Structure 1
Amino acid sequence: MIILAGLGNPGPKYQNNRHNIGFMAVDEIARHWRFGTARAKFQSVVADGEVDTADGPVKVLLMKPQTYMNESGRAVSEAARFYKIPPEDIIVFHDEIDLAPGRFRMKTGGGAAGQNGVRSLISQLGPDFRRARMGIGHPGEARLVHGHVLSDFHKADQPWLEALLDAVATALPFALAGDDERYQGEVLRLAPAPKFSPRQVARDD
């Protein structure tokens, strides 16, 4: 089994926030691959399903922690302990301000880079889980970051956002087969986006 955890904050107030793009990603995966009915477990909303890969079907547990972003690690680690899932079989979808809007990068290990949900996961699981980093752009000044991530996507963002969400779901079999490089490349092929936004110079690495 592989755990796919989307990071975000629960409740309608945060539903369309940039910070909730991880929730949006797992919702699209559940829709695309016709996962089972969502239910409450592991301090999360979870759904079970299977995704066909070149090596056969892979069992997947989708998770949307309901602990709020800063405590996401508590929920994911509870599920990981229950199913005895190692960090390399956990993929976390989250917003990334250091990538331009619509860009996508896979990464294993490393620090939190200021993402509090990732920091919580590191504290509970160690650093060696896989991160699906979904670019939302940087507002240009550090003092504006909090308001930026907790504000809703604009209407103008919808074309790249919808394309990115569809791509991460469509290309998912590559990630489940362990080929993160191929997954990243396929997502970027299906949902091309410029490396830099007009308002920022993003670290696209």
Structure 2
Amino acid sequence: VSLCTGAFVLAEAGLLDGLKATTHWAHTDVLAERYPRVQVDPDVLYVDNGQVLTSAGKAAAIDLSLHLIRSDHGTATANTAARRLVVSPHRDGGQAQFVLAPVPSEEGHPLTELFGWASKRLDQPLTVEDLARQANMSSRHLARLFKAVTGTTPLQWLHAQRIRRAQELLEMTDDSVDQIAESSGMGTATTLRRHFHRTVGVPPDTYRRTFRPVGGRH
């Protein structure tokens, strides 16, 4: 079992050759370059290969530890340990380490007010033209500013914000996936499920269970 950058030790020993493995997202490129025989997955929380297990960062190390407790001693024991640690009782190993969501820029920047305006209207079918009109600039100039501030396009930023909104609603409400799709601007549950799974790595229902008590022993 390796936690965080402990994967480098296992890789150096040849224990990860031909296996899928992960480590902290900031070091996955180095791990893949240094040990080309390792199938490095930069997006997951942890990987269970049976006899060899690897995790991402420190929080993911807790997830892997709870996974081991759950596998060896059952869900109830894992839940008790999670409560002691004040952490979620279960996060699926395939869940994304994080979702990149550009944050508002410094106060006074031309986009700061626009970020707030758009974030309050994610349930509406916003377009690049809508954003440019609100910011009182051309679509081309808006695109250049977005690239400079967030590293993404306006539509990519909107998409990231919609996914974040869906995550928040899944975590904090009992709204149905259909309701969340509408509230986050994804339109339909089918569209939300497709984009959520592609971005986060797990379906909305699985993500929601991460933030709900896991009942019964598996």
TM-score (norm 1): 0.23
Q: Which has the higher contact order (CA 8 A, sep 6+)?
A: 1
- Hey, which of these two has a bigger chunk of strand by percent? 1
Larger Rg: 2
